[in-house]
Amino acid sequence: MGAREGIRETRRKGQTPATASGHPQHQAGTTRKRGPTRPAHPSHQARALPLKRLELVADRSYGTDNDVATKAERLADSRPELARLQALAGVAGAAAHGGGLDGVLTAIVEGVREAFGLEVVLNLYEPARDRYVVRAVVGSGEHELMGSSTLRDAFDELLLSGDEIVPDVVFIPHEREVDLGRLGAVHTPDHGWGGPGFWHPLDMCFVRMRTSRGEVLAILSVDSDVDGRIPDDESFELLRVFAMVGANAIENMLLIREIAGLDEEREKRLLRLELEEEVTLRRSLLEVGGRLGVASASDSSDIFPLVAERLAFVVPIKSLTIWMVDHDAQLIRPLYHSDPGPVADAVMAYEFPFGLGATGLAVQEGHSVIANEDENGVRLAAIIPGTPDTPEHVLGVPVMVEERVTVALTLRRLATEPPFLPEDAHRAELFGRHVASAFVLRELAESRRLLHQQVEKLEELNRLKDEFVAGVSHELRTPLTAIIGNVVTVARLGDMLPAEDRRQLLEGAERQAKRLAELLENLLAESRLAGDDPVMVLVPVDVGPFLEEVADTLRFRAPTRLVQTACERTLALVTDRTLLYRILFNLGDNALKYSDGPVRLAARPDGGGIRIDVQDNGIGIPREHLARVFEQFHQLPTPDGRHMEGVGLGLHLCARVAETLGGRIDVDSEIGRGSTFSVWLPKDGPTRDP
């Protein structure tokens, strides 16, 4: 007795159907797969599912005898088949037109409803939670079921209690009285029962939706909302096929979403994987080339002498030049020339535009061009500067890679030898097609090299970003904590604190607030310099009073320290006052931090500009570290081991500002004797590119 007949026999022998409250089943909110295969989120490439013509065998009858003829006519009609094809088209359309995952899931349940007239609940497997979650519902019970979830093993256990009508379609008759206590949510349709062979409200039917690798990614729970006959086996088979199409669409959408959701770290891992795969691809291309007559080589440029050697067997030649075609610049650049010595040097230094000479014309036209030496001495080929003026025949051959001229070959013979013929051009073109893999290999190697550089740059930027965020967070948190602590202490204790204690607490809060303000000013200045055209406000600046203004700020910041200024006669320059202030203040503030003696700001004329020195007599900077003092987010270790606050932004900002203002900054330092930072700026302001 087959599985389907067994179900019908059970119903004939079945008991009186239980009430909905006794067995609260039909549409399980979450579904489970059975068998040893564990559901997994698809992360592989989805393969296309071939669709066959769907046909419905109209061998069912249901309802009263008066309805039989009408029902049979409807089944014989082509409309059910058309409805199912339209439903399949709806699923495919939702996936193809960017409907997103939810759009595809909704299209699947609506398609089943339209094609089979059933209520549907789609339970999508979430590997991270090891649960099936209701993501789409059509029919009654939507509010009860949507968003509910059930553990995977609970569904496994449920499906084991049913009968597999066709592969992946499991039917559980109500007579089994299965335990539904572990399901997340349950909804029972409200309709009567016409007896064995008809759909009971407590009957259950589940359809597994598998990936292209056979893993279950979702389960459909289907039910009838009316007292109709249970579908025949062929209808269940059609339902299974429909689920396969839907699973394919879900798998593709999950893959698209997974790719779109890659974070930066995952992208870098993929980039590294591509670099590793490039080695495998390179070896494969060389192996193919070896079978076609191109021996393998450790470097793509090593292949070119082999190309010249093998080509000479196909088309006798004196020399071969291989050119790379740059479509963006409309230029042809040399890759290799077979003649050694000065001739090769001259050829390798030569580049020319499309359309020039036989090779340029071959690249432009996309076919071989023959330029033989004319019997009357008329030369058709272009002469490369620095090469001997020897009469010769020339053949230009384009090499197509993916329907685009990527490489060109220039073949040469002495004029005393037979001229090139169309047969030679044809053989050279065939050879070019065979060795195209060598040129593809070179392009891949170059692209992978650039890709590797980009990966390293991204990793470095990511590291700097992390360091910057950590440093800035610390630098912001420290003064804020001190400010809040001091102010709260004064506010709570008030007059209970001695006046001197209140004054010290408030002065401490003021110092920390100024420190916080300076950090924010540096960050704002850094943002002003972002981009190719930073914002500058150029105004005349009287240098002497300006130095005194900066010195007053430094004196206020360190009342016990001596800050001196010096300016030779009246000096003036055109610059951005705010940015220049930021340079000198940062340098002066550093001088105060890294020294205990006086700090001096001095200006003097220097060529076509003005030089401003900021000098201290502090601990100094080791000479081996001078080259890195202006690096972003980099703090140098101090010779005496003291820890200095900051994020390594001040000196980098000074260097960037000086460059933006058209000048430069230099440093001279000696351990134990102090440092001098010199800023040179042009008198008339920075020059802008037209």
The reply to whether the predicted model has a pTM over 0.85 is no
**239 and 87 Cβ atoms separated by less than 8 Å:** no
Distance from chain centroid for Cα 41:
21
Decide which of 251 and 268 is more confident. Answer: 251
**Taking residues 406-424, what's their average pLDDT?**
90
582 pLDDT higher than 80: yes
C-alpha–C-alpha distance, residues 500 and 505, integer Å: 9
Q: CA 4: distance to chain centroid?
A: 50
313 or 337, greater pLDDT: 337
**pLDDT for position 687:** 78
d(CA 206, CA 219): 7
Residue 598 has pLDDT above 90, yes or no: yes
In this prediction, residue 485 carries a pLDDT of 82
**The pLDDT value given to residue 506:** 83
Distances (CA, A) of 441 to 328, 437, 448: 20, 6, 10
Query: Of 285, 296, 360, nearest to 323 (Cα)?
Result: 360
> Which residue, 196, 199, 193, is CA-closest to 230?
199
13 pLDDT band, cuts 50/70/90, is very low
Least Cα distance to 28 among 209, 151, 167, 164 occurs for 151
pLDDT-based confidence at residue 488 (cuts at 50, 70, 90) = confident
Over residues 653-671, the pLDDT tens digits come to 888 889 889 999 999 988 8
CA angle 516, 520, 525 (to 5 degrees): 150
CB-based contacts of 253-257 (< 8 A; 24+ apart in sequence): 253/95, 253/100, 253/101, 253/104, 254/41, 254/42, 254/101, 254/217, 255/42, 255/43, 255/44, 255/45, 255/46, 257/100, 257/101
Q: Examine the pLDDT at 462 and tell me if it is beyond 50.
A: yes
Q: Say what the pLDDT of residue 594 is.
A: 84
Q: What is the mean pLDDT of residues 540-563?
A: 90
Which domains occur in the chain, in start order?
25-45+118-260 (3.30.450), 266-292+437-515 (no CATH), 295-434 (3.30.450.40), 529-682 (3.30.565.10)
Measured CA to CA, the distance from residue 97 to residue 188 in angstroms comes to 35
The stretch 134-155 carries a mean pLDDT of: 90
CA distance 640 to 14: 93
Amino acid at 411: L
Token code pair at residue 672: 């134990």
The mean pLDDT of 257-285, rounded to a whole number, is 58
Q: What's residue 41's pLDDT?
A: 36
Instruction: Summarize pLDDT for 66-121 with one digit per residue, the tens.
Output: 444 454 454 445 456 666 666 666 666 665 556 688 888 988 898 888 888 889 99
Find the helix or strand (DSSP H, E) in which 100 lies. helix 100-116
Asked whether the predicted pLDDT for residue 265 surpasses 70, the reply is no
Is the pLDDT reported for residue 283 higher than 70? no
Does the pLDDT at position 482 exceed 70?
yes
Mean of all residue pLDDT scores within the chain: 76
Phi first, then psi, for residue 678 (nearest 5°) are: -115, 125
Helices and strands (H and E) in the chain: how many: 17, 22
Q: Which amino acid is at 152?
A: R
Q: Is the model's pLDDT at 299 over the cut of 70?
A: no
| Local structure of 126: helix, strand or coil | strand
Higher pLDDT: 298 or 151? It is 151
Q: Is the pLDDT higher at 625 or at 439?
A: 625
Tell me the DSSP string of 608-677.
TEEEEEEEE-SS---GGGGGGTTSTT--PPPTT-----S-S-HHHHHHHHHHHTT-EEEEEEETTTEEEE
**pLDDT tens-digit map of 17-72:** 333 333 334 444 543 333 333 333 333 333 333 333 333 333 333 344 444 445 44
The listed range with the strongest mean pLDDT (51-55, 159-163, 544-548, 637-641) is: 544-548
**pLDDT at residue 308 in the model:** 79
Asked if 580 and 600 count as a contact pair (C-beta separation under 8 A), the reply is no
